Amino acid sequence: MHRKAPGFSHGECVNKNRAEDLGNMIWYPYQQMKTMKPPYKIINAEGVYLYTEDQKLIDSVSSWWSVIHGYNHPELNQAIEAQLKKFAHVMLGGLTHDPIEKLSAKLQSWLPGDLDYCFFSDSGSVAVEVALKMALQYYMNRGENQRTMVLALEHAYHGDTFKTMEVGDDEDYHFVLNAYGKNNYVAHIHTDIKALEQAFAKYHDRLNCFIVEPLLQGAGGMRMYDISFLKRARELCDQYNVLLIFDEVATGFGRTGNRFVADLVLPDILILGKALTGGYIGHAVTVANHKVYDGFYDDNPSHALMHGPTFMGNALACSVILKSIELFEKQDYMSKIRRIEEITHREMDSFSDSRIKEIRILGGCICIEVYEPDTIKGYQQFAYDRGVFSRPFLNYLYAMVPYVIEEDELVKVLQTMKDWFSK
């Protein structure tokens, strides 16, 4: 029985009841709680499908781009269950375990170049924070204390924590700038080589890193750009001794049509999350090359990286990551992704509407950008009624489907998008 706390007003009770109507006082992400519509309640999930009490839905966004193998995968389930019989978690402070040792060795051999040193954390945002801390301290350890600036892209999204919000360029987070004033430690540029060269000419002696979502800017609007920009970035970082960071939380594991963009252009630090665990458990990793790691490897205790998430290297997460990578390799997911891209082009290349500004396709991602946000208002329910779960934002209607999707299921997702404009 709920007991009213002393001083609890009638108005507060009313507001509490409204919140409870939305789900037991849950504060949902990216929502104005007063006006949000009740979320769809999922009672089961299997393959590419989410099940509510009255609908079977193809998940066209892979639970924020993470569920690449589909839901309730028997081999991923077994990996979790097998480790659970031993233990779920032990901290890495003074302890270690087989799953993290095997995973670190696998990533060392699997990732390109000398990206060998893995620092685990429990979310993509934290993994980016770790990377930014690494970059700053790397130069501080060398006595180059003037290198306090970060170069980033316009329309960038790197996470929801404070430093990642500063480095990002999401209008929803500009309240940070409004509260604290202009940030003199971050510069943003277009994905334009001339702008890139000008930025390095201006800031190079103050920069510790250049951080990018390579080839595909996710939450900033599914913006796609050419590999030539990243190749030039690598040259300039080498020329001016600036660390290059690839945030592949969204782009890694094939989403751009490349296994990792880091396979094409090698960064100094690589960040992975989302699909890392196949969507099973929140986990991420910041992977450094030898140059960065050696900048901390010292007799001086003050040169150590002072960071340590409680659940870093969680044994269940490590176990499912190992199995996820095995599935990715064994079932030739890159061929699956190429097929998704091929079908998407076939279905969408001839489609147009006067309200559409651009249709962008890259690997396992399609984005329809409209001129006016109101154009796609109501699409989520429209798609729900037709058996597709979608979550458009601003003026972007997009899909990032699980890689195990069948052709008829993918066509249904794409046809639902087209039907919206012809209704």
Q: Which residue shows structure tokens 């996820």? A: 324
CA atoms within 13 Å, Cβ hemisphere of 380: 14
Distance between CA atoms of residues 287 and 277, nearest Å: 16
Nearest to 187 by CA among 175, 178, 176, 196: 196
Instruction: State the pairing for strand pair 44-46/223-224.
Output: unpaired
419 is catalytic: no
Q: Is 384 a catalytic residue?
A: no
| Contacts (Cβ under 8 Å, ≥6 apart) of 96 | none
Q: Say which of 59, 170, 247, 268 is annotated catalytic.
A: 247
* Pairing state between β 149-153 and 207-212: parallel
The catalytic residue among 163, 274, 323, 336 is 274
Q: Measure CA 83 to chain center.
A: 26
User: Cα torsion for 17, 23, 25, 29, to the nearest 10°?
Assistant: -130
Report the C-alpha gap between 317 and 281 in whole angstroms: 6
C-alpha 127/C-alpha 122 separation (Å) is 8
Helical (H) or strand (E) element with 396: strand 396-399
| Residue 385 annotated as catalytic | no
| % helix, strand, coil for the chain, step of 5 | 40, 15, 45
State CA 225 to chain mean position distance.
17
Q: Which residues contact 146 (CB under 8 A, 6 or more apart)?
A: 205, 206
H-helix segments, 22-148:
62-65, 74-84, 98-110, 124-141
Active-site residue, 157 included: yes
Q: Residue 249 is which amino acid? A: V
Name residue 51's beta-bridge partners: 44, 56
- Phi and psi dihedrals of 334, rounded to 5? -65, -35
CA distances from 366 to 1, 12, 171, 334 (A): 49, 44, 22, 17
Selected catalytic residue, list 4, 28, 30, 291: 30
Residues annotated catalytic, as ranges: 30, 157, 247, 274
